[in-house]
Amino acid sequence: MSHQTVSRVINGAPSIRRETRERVLEAIRRLDYRPNTAARALVRGRSGMIGIIGTARTLFGPTSIHRSVEDAARAAGYFATSVSLSEVTVRALSDATEHLMRVGVEGVVMIAGNDEALEVVRMTRSGVPFVVVEGDLSRASVTVGVDQVLGARMATDHLLDLGHREIVHVSGPLNWAEARARLEGWRQAMSAAGLRPPEPVEGDWRAHSGYAAGLRIGAMRGTTAVFAANDQMAIGVLRALHERGRRVPHDVSVVGFDDVPEAPFLIPPLTTIQQDFDAVGRRAITAVTQAIDDTVPQRLPLVIPKLVVRQSTAPPPAT
């Protein structure tokens, strides 16, 4: 057979006779043949590669999104190559982008959470489509993400529905778009219930900062509920309240955000907001492939989070 016929079989052309296709496929199996992706990229002028730039890889949310983007890229027929930044600076992002351009990526997905990362992305001119995941959806041209405000409202409304009125929020660092969005959702829910939100306690996403916040909250005798901006800080709050002699959920209810794998196994199991990271990854790849194909990227809707109720929340103690 001609190499053109073999190529058409490998690329799934529909106009090949059944007998011919079966002979080619049998030869491929017998020879254990695999297409040379580098050679195909030269012929087509396309690499079939998508670059991923990650930040904050020690945090559950960004790490989960990074994995979901890699999985979605493979499912869409692309190879994913990643660069993780230990610090987010113009130089670091420029170097990462240059590295990805040298290996021939057709588009880049940036997992950016804090303001510094978003500002660096806004200033970067890469020459290939650039999609931002997890950041402020108003500050980049092509972005995807979860409805963080809605998730925070779900968490706060759950506590309000149980009868709580003194609900303290342990926020993430306020130079992160997600932290500000979750803070805003908590404030919206409190205001909609006719309540004045108390002063939030700012953390840094880590359990230690949640523990420090929990020690402060444990001394506030009027507080009956805590909404922590992520599960790691909620874990710290649980430990601190225990040390303060405040029982969860009998004295104080606690809600987290993210639904980490350990959440169902804590004492008590943690009520939290679940984010569909797989949906975020799929939407990121949809956006970047649309841009690669010169299709005007559609403004994709925010992913809707889900409230997962467990045993860390209950009605407030009777007064």
pLDDT at 114: 73
Q: What is the mean pLDDT of residues 34-38?
A: 59
Highest mean pLDDT among 65-69, 199-203, 295-299: 199-203
**Contact present, 305 and 89 (Cβ < 8 Å):** no
Task: Read off φ and ψ for residue 207, nearest 5 degrees.
Answer: -60, -35
pLDDT at 248: 97
- In whole angstroms, what is the distance from residue 151 CA to residue 189 CA? 11
254: tokens are 């606690």
pTM above threshold 0.85: no
Q: Residue 308, SS3?
A: strand
pLDDT digits (tens, 9 = 90+) for 139-193: 556 678 899 999 999 999 999 999 999 999 999 999 888 999 999 999 999 999 9
- In whole angstroms, what is the distance from residue 167 CA to residue 188 CA? 13
Computed from CA positions of residues 288, 293, 296, 299, in that sequence, does the dihedral angle turn out positive or negative? negative
Element (H, E) at 61: helix 60-75
* pLDDT over 70 at 37, yes or no: no
Query: At how many degrees (to 10) do helices 90-102 and 115-123 cross?
Result: 50
pLDDT at 116: 72
